[in-house]
Amino acid sequence: MANFLDKHKTKVVLFNQQYRNKKRLRTQKVDIPENLFTKCPFCQEILLTEAVEENDFVCPHCGKYFQLRARKRLEMLTDEDSFQELFQNLSSANPLDFPDYEDKINKIRKETGETEAFIAGKATIGGEKVALGVLDSYFLMGSMGSVVGEKVTRLIEVSIDERLPLVIVSASGGARMQEGIFSLMQMAKTAALLARHHEAGLFYLSVLTHPTTGGVSASFAMLGDVIIAEKDALIGFAGKRVISQTIKEDLPDGFQTAGFLLEKGMLDMVVDRKDLKPTIAKLLHFHAGGEAHV
């Protein structure tokens, strides 16, 4: 390893300058690396980027999961070249005229290359057609404002109109604060369409990834016919900080982890990242029709 590092001394120095002084948090985001090396935010091990990518963005050293960009998630879950994106023409306005909101949106759009925090479309997974949406936690914490709510709603409508199963992969801190009451109303709007979806007898699979909290968990994310969570995901309604500050309660170990929710009966299963696609495909297959009671 030492020889190897010597050869790439310049890159390592640059890398260290870029990452060394950053605060190391459980939820720290790791840029999808364009560099040769990437550092695990959990165990601090310097890793070959290629090795991280080949391991589905799971640290080969400590086994912890890096957060994924929505595009990467789509690539990992869908059959090759099957994804057709929808509703890219929707973008955020500033409904409350909230100070600095537009600047914030413009900045994050440039940084991420995405128009908003939710990517919606149609695809096949294991050969089964689906209406599929993925939240991007790198876009303002995957928070739900009018655009995210509208895209989720339209995706549910596509699912109803074309009688496709619906799969939504959540990764969100909850409400988009800068859109205030309009953000709150997206919880209602998505739930309204899910009531119709339910009535239509269609399958909805909700996949919870790190993190799924607040207004997203308290609306469409917890309304799946089947709810599966990716290993290590943080899932809850209120944030840990809010709970410990307002209620002055000590939080038990593993509180709000996928394992905690599974134990409390809130999830159907917790799945390793590598097993996510085959599990989704299997569930879609089970719901794809065939012989059934009349």
Partner 1 sequence: MSETGNAWAKVQLARHPKRPTAKTALKALAPDFLELKGDRFYANDDAIIGGIGTVGGIVMTIIAEEKGTTLEEKIQNHFGMPHPEGYRKVMRLVRQAEKFHRPVLFLIDTPGAYPGVEAEARGQAEAIASSLRLLFSVKTPLIAAVLSEGGSGGALAIGIADYLLMFENATYSILSPEGFAAILYKDASLAKDVAQNMKLTAQDLYGYGIIDEIISEPGGGWHLDNAGPLRKLEESVIREARKLMLLDSQTLLDKRQAKFRRHGIYHEENS
Burial of 268 (0-12, 13-18, 19+ CB in 10 A): middle
CA-CA distance, 206 to 225, in Å (whole number)? Answer: 8
Strand ranges (DSSP E) for 157-222? 166-172, 204-212
Residue 252 or 289: which CB sits closer to partner 1?
252
Binding mask 253-272 for partner 1 (x = CB under 8 A): --xx---x---xxx------
Please identify which residue in 183, 233, 257, 258 interacts with partner 1, judged by CB under 8 A.
183
Interacting stretch for partner 1, rule CB under 8 A, among 61-69, 120-128, 140-148, 162-170?
Answer: 140-148
Q: Give min distance, CB of 265 to partner 1, in A.
A: 8
CA dihedral of residues 34, 82, 205, 258 (deg, nearest 10): -20
Q: Of the candidates 77, 160, 187, 234, which one interacts with partner 1 according to CB under 8 A?
A: 187
CA 141 to CA 129: how far, in whole Å?
29
Among 37, 42, 83, 182, binds partner 1 (CB under 8 A): 182
Torsions phi, psi for 83 (to 5 deg): -80, 125
Binds partner 1 by CB under 8 A, chosen from 113, 201, 252, 290:
252
d(CA 210, CA 264): 18
Distance in angstroms (rounded) separating the CA atoms of residues 161 and 83: 18
Residue from the set 22, 24, 163, 196 that interacts with partner 1 by CB under 8 A:
196
Q: Which residues bind partner 1 (CB under 8 A)?
A: 88-93, 95-96, 98-99, 145-147, 149-150, 153, 175, 177-189, 191-196, 198-199, 213-215, 217-223, 235-239, 242-243, 246-247, 249, 251-252, 255-256, 260, 264-266
